[in-house]
Amino acid sequence: MRFRRVAVIAALVAVVGATTAAMLPPAPIDRPQPMPALSAQALTARYTANAHQIVQATSAAKRAGDTSLVRALNGLRGQHFIDFNPLGQGLVVEVVGDLATATRVAVLVPGSDTSLATFDSRGTASPDGGAAALAAQVRELDPGAHLAVIAWLGYATPTTLSPGVLTSGDARQGAIALRSFVGALTRDGRQVSLLCHSYGSVVCGLAAAHLPVTDIAVFGSPGMDAASAWSLHSPARVWACRGTEDWIGNVPYVQLLGLGFGQDPTDPAFGARIFSCGDANHSGYFRTGSISLRNLAYIALGDPAGVTR
Contacts of 45 (CB under 8 A, 6+ apart): 36
62 contact partners, CB below 8 Å, separation of at least 6: 70
CB 224 within 8 A of CB 199: no
Those residues whose C-beta lies under 8 Å from the C-beta of residue 279, and which sit 6 or more positions away, are 243, 244, 245
Whole-angstrom Cα distance, residue 309 to residue 294? Answer: 12
Packing angle of the helix pair 169-186, 200-207 (nearest 10 deg): 60
pLDDT band at 30 (very low <50, low <70, confident <90, very high): low
CA–CA gap between residue 300 and residue 216 (Å, rounded): 9
CATH number at residue 20: 3.40.50.1820
- Tell me, what DSSP letter sits at residue 209? T
Q: CA end-to-end span of the chain, whole Å?
A: 25
**Of 32-36, 100-104, 235-239, minimum mean pLDDT range:** 32-36
**pLDDT tens profile 201-252:** 999 999 999 999 999 999 999 999 999 999 999 999 999 999 999 999 988 8
Over residues 11-29, the mean pLDDT reads: 40
267-287 per-position pLDDT tens digit: 999 999 999 999 999 999 999
pLDDT reading at 105 higher than 50 = yes
- Tell me the pLDDT tens digit for each residue of 119-175: 998 999 999 999 999 999 999 999 999 999 999 999 999 877 666 777 777 899 999
What is the percent of the chain with per-residue pLDDT over 70, rounded to a whole number? 88
Task: Show the CA angle centred on residue 92, arms to residues 88 and 96, nearest 5°.
Answer: 165
How much of the chain, in percent, has pLDDT values that exceed 90? 77
| Listed residue (194, 70, 53) closest to 134, CA to CA | 194
Is the CB of residue 153 less than 8 Å from the CB of residue 112?
Answer: no
- Domain of residue 109 covers 2-306
Q: What is the pLDDT of residue 33?
A: 81
Q: Could you tell me how far CA 291 lies from the centroid of its own chain?
A: 19
DSSP string, 217-237: EEES-S--SSSSSGGG--SSE
The structure's pTM equals 0.89
Burial zone of 41 (CB within 10 Å; 0-12 exposed, 13-18 middle, 19+ buried) = exposed
Angle at 64 between CA 61 and CA 65, to 5 degrees: 85
In one-letter notation, the amino acid at residue 129 is G
**Tens of pLDDT, residues 254-270:** 777 677 788 999 999 99
Q: What pLDDT was estimated at residue 264?
A: 96
Please provide the average confidence, as pLDDT, over all residues in the chain.
89
How many structural domains does the chain have?
Answer: 1
Q: What angle do CA 106, 109, 111 make, to 5 degrees?
A: 155
- Residue 193: which of 80, 40, 297 has the closest Cα? 297
User: How far apart (Å, rounded) are the C-alpha atoms in residues 172 and 209?
Assistant: 13
Residue 22: pLDDT band by 50, 70, 90 thresholds? very low
DSSP 3-state assignment of 120?
Answer: coil
State the pLDDT at residue 3. 36
In terms of Cβ atoms closer than 10 Å to its own Cβ (0-12, 13-18, 19+), residue 271 is middle
